[in-house]
Structure formats: structure tokens, C-alpha cells
Structure 1
């Protein structure tokens, strides 16, 4: 009896009584792959993220003005202030959210072709877990990015993310690691329900249309749509998170205090302050994350086939 090897799903299937088709289940991809893709993307778009945080946390009015101020006061290298905080955040939050999203889909029996609400549910579950786990990294990233926008006497001057982590615990207590955890978890839930779920939805919908194949053009189009959805959905929580986390010690305010003060001084549209720089940052980041992730998956497939 002869045999034939075939990729994917599950068992041995007789073929016309003469051959056996060996169907091998595809191995899952490494759980950390999404975190690596997100770290690469965040490193490239860091100057835009830096500008977004400073717009949300300070009185700067325009993205261009904020960039000019950064370059004028700290040089071009100033556009990469707080890069270690960004890396720390991605290697905690992003690794966790991609892992949790895949596990949540398995738990509720969803796949990439499932209805949007089911994918969004998996995204919400992943966001809740990752938002909590990644909160310290989020605080460090926001503080390090916003530090040079403050007057010199109010700067924290963390040397790097690890130094910042130890100083937060030593100077403000371990409870400081949970500052802004409510808005951060809420934002993470919104982000994963909109970004991860919408990417899967757009990708499967575009494939089903017959106009696309599973290649970089599909990944680019689906991630572009996902980035726009995610920016709009996440803007209110993102603004609150940045304002609360950028405060330290006695400056800190509760979420409700921050909302009341901002509503009184700026009106309801404060929740979408910095939408353009947020979109300008999140759009290429989202595209880079998913395009990089898909390429990393191809590299893993190539490696497995080679060995």
C-alpha cells in the first residue's frame, strides 16, 4: 500500500481502497510571534506615538507644532524619547494579547470566518487580560514619552524602562503600577475587539469576495481598514489613559475627576483630541503589525518545511 503526505487538518483517510492520505494537523505558530511583530512596528512608528501622547497630555494644539518643539528642544534623537518604555510595553502587553486572542477564539469556538460579534468577543477577552498584565509597561511608556514635554522641575528623568519600574515602586509604592488600570483595560478591550477582530473579519471577507488572494495586498488592505476602525473606537479611552498616567504622585486624578475637569474646560470633543496623530500613528502601526506578523508566519512555515 502506498501513502501520500498532505498538509493540514487531521487523520488518515482511505482513498479508493488503494492509498492512504496522511492528513497532518498544522502546528500552531509560536505564541510570541505577535509580540515580536508589534515590537518591530512600534519601533518604526515611535516618533508618531510620542507626538500623540504629548498632544493628549499637554496643551499642544497641532501635530506639526509638537514635532517641531520636540526637535527644537531635544534634537532628532528626541523623537525616540522613551523607546525602552515602548519595547517593555510591547513585550508584555502585545505578547499577551495575541496569545490571549488565539486562546479565546479556541475557548468560544471561533475562527477567522466566524461572525464579527464572535471575533469581537474573543478580542474583548484578550484585551481584558492583556490590559491588566501590560499596565505597568503602559505607564512607563506614557511617562517616558511625555517627560520632556513637562517643565524641567516636573520631569521624572527615568534612565530606561527598568529604572522607571524600580523608581515607581520605591517612590510611589507598588500600587502605582496599577495607576489608570481601569481606562487602560477598557481601552485594551476596545482595541482588541476592534483591531484584531476587524482584521480577521476584513481579511476573510476580502478573500471571500474573490478579488484577493492571501498575499501582502490582502494583508495591507485588511490592516488599513482595521487601523481606521480601531483609532475611532479607542480614542476616548486613549485620551483618558494618557492624561491619568502622565500624572504622578499628588497630581494624579481619578477617572471621573479627569472626565469632569476635561468636559468643563474643553467640551465633549476632548475625547477625540489627537485623533489625527492617533490615526497617523495607529494606521501604519496596525499595517506594520499584521504585515510583519504574516511574514513571520511565512518564515515559520518555511523553516518547518525545510527541517
Structure 2
């Protein structure tokens, strides 16, 4: 199956390259296709780490389970209870999310960057940060329902470990049940902490990747190649994780909570979630899942950017 997908993309890129040579292919459409495929590859590769990160962020939400735990123990627990397949619980909505989220933020960033500054070399890091955050917010608003379904399905594995029945049998079942129980607006539960996280993570990820790559090339540390992309990915992954982890913890807990029988929620707002988390678990709880998040963002960005940059080159497009 994977070989068929790769072959299809290879043929598409060949046609795109030919189209660019004759001026017959829309550049934005090409970028969207290549971005979507690159995001699918990166998401599938690093999804188990994201699942472990989500479980770590939910750990301690109950007063009876506030003792610290470690990422490897969470991972072993998932494999022991659900098998290796359990590490990919919630993958399908994650893929669907990235079909919307990643093309909008990546292509949107590049477009806004060209509008604000014709010369990328003279574009300041502050300007790139604002452009990156803005494109991330636009993308996250659209992709938030898929993100909600992904978090709920990932959290279901935690319920199974506690001897409870999973709430959803699949992404479409989750979507249907959420709309029935919480209304159409329920699909955007946690959208505000989600937007905050999207602004911060894209401010760190896109701006730092762009700026770090330009710095590496201008300083002649490396040419515009895999080495430069790897260095830029490490810097952007660390910056994005540091900035976004507190908002990510709040977002995960807000999106995971469902209404109880009496119609009450554990958290009334993002601020309430933030205060209760710090009060019960301490300030360090806001960086729960930091290392799994960084461990995922680094490889995710490496796989994504290397794949995306290579396909851009093959399709006859300039470097990002």
C-alpha cells in the first residue's frame, strides 16, 4: 500500500514538473498536494510518540492518579494492554486533520511572507514569528474538529487501561456522538487554547525553521540540503515545544472532557483549567509531556521538511 502511494506521488510530481516547465500547473495546488503527502508521512512515522505525550498530559487529571510517571512506562503500558496497534489509536483523525491543517499553515505562511517582504533574507525573525503564528491560527480554526476527535480517541485508550469501555468505535462514530451530546459547537471545544497553541507552535516552528535555515546557508555552514534542513528542524522543534507545551496541556484537557450526567464540566474555561492544573499538580505540570513532545516534533519536522523540500525540488519549485 505504501509503495502504491509513493508511486502515485512520484508520478504526480513528474507531471507537475513537466507542467511547470510549460507553465500549465498551478503552483499553489502543487504545494498543497506535496505538503499534504509530506505531513501524512511525518504524522504516521511519529504518531506513537504523540499518543504517549497525550496520555502523559492527561495523567494526574484525577486526584487519585497524581503521582508522576514516565514516557517509557506509558508506552509499555499501551503495548501490554492493547498491543502495538494501540500505539496508533486515533491515527485516522490525525491524518484527516493534517490534510487541512498543514497545507493551510505552510502554504499560508509562504504566501503571507511573500506579501509582507519580497526578500526573505531581509525579513526579520519577529516578522516571521507574526506571520507564522497568524497562518497557524487560520489553519487550526479549520482543523479543530479533527483535532478534537483525535484527542478523544487517544484518551479512550486510557479509559481501557482503567477497565472502562471506550467511548468511540472510530472517528466517524466519535464525530457523530460529539455532535449529538454536545451540539455542533461541541466540535470546537477547546478551540481557544487550541488557537493559542497553534499561534505559539507555528511562531516557533515556521519562523525558527525558516530563519535557522537561512542562517545556516548564509553562514556557509551547509548548502540548502538535508544537513541544513536537519539543523533547522532541531532548532525549530525545541523552540516550538518550549513555547507551546503549557497551551498544549490545557488544550488536551479541555478537549478531552465530556459533560457529566449532571451537565457539569471539570473545567469551566481555559483559564480555570490552567489554575486548577497548577494548584493541584504544580507549575511543572504545564510542561508534562515536554520530552515526548520534543522527541516527536524533532523527527516530525525532519521527516516533513526533508520530504517536502525534496518533492518541491523534484516538482520544479524553489526551496521553501
TM interval, short-chain normalised: 0.7 to 0.9
> Of the candidates 89, 94, 110, which is equivalent to residue 97 of structure 2?
89
1:163: which partner in 2? 173
1:80: which partner in 2? 88
Q: Tell me, which stretches of 5 or more residues in structure 1 are unaligned?
A: 1-23, 303-307
Q: How far, CA to CA, are the matches of 1:252 and 1:286 in structure 2?
A: 34
Q: How far, CA to CA, are the matches of 1:235 and 1:267 in structure 2?
A: 15
Root mean square deviation, CA, Å: 1.9
- Write the deviation string for residues 68-103 of structure 1: whole angstroms up to 9, x where unpaired: 110111011111111112111111211221122122
- Write the deviation string for residues 173-197 of structure 1: whole angstroms up to 9, x where unpaired: 1011110000000110111111011
Q: Tell me, which stretches of 5 or more residues in structure 2 are unaligned?
A: 1-22, 61-67
Residues 110, 256 of structure 1: alpha-carbon distance in 2 compared, 3 angstrom cutoff:
farther
Q: How far, CA to CA, are the matches of 1:112 and 1:200 in structure 2?
A: 9
Equivalent positions of 1:5-154 (< 5 A) are: 28=27, 30-32=30-32, 33-59=34-60, 61-109=69-117, 111-113=119-121, 114-150=123-159, 151-153=162-164
> Of the candidates 273, 278, 291, which is equivalent to residue 276 of structure 1?
291
- 1:105: Cα distance to partner? 1.3
- 1:111: Cα distance to partner? 4.8
Residues 252, 34 of structure 1: alpha-carbon distance in 2 compared, 3 angstrom cutoff:
farther
> Of the candidates 222, 230, 252, which is equivalent to residue 220 of structure 1?
230
- 1:166: Cα distance to partner? 2.4
Equivalent positions of 1:172-211 (< 5 A) are: 172-211=182-221
Q: 1:92 touches 1:137 (CA, 8 Å); kept in 2?
A: no
TM-score under structure 1 normalisation? 0.85
Q: 1:37 touches 1:293 (CA, 8 Å); kept in 2?
A: yes
TM-score under structure 2 normalisation? 0.82
In the alignment, is residue 258 of structure 1 matched against residue 273 of structure 2?
yes
Structure with more helix by fraction: 2
Aligned residues: 277
- 1:268: Cα distance to partner? 1.3
- 1:136: Cα distance to partner? 0.5
Task: Give structure 1 regions of 4+ aligned residues with deviation exceeding 3 angstroms.
Answer: 26-29, 151-154
Rg larger for: 1
Q: How far, CA to CA, are the matches of 2:210 and 2:128 in structure 1?
A: 8
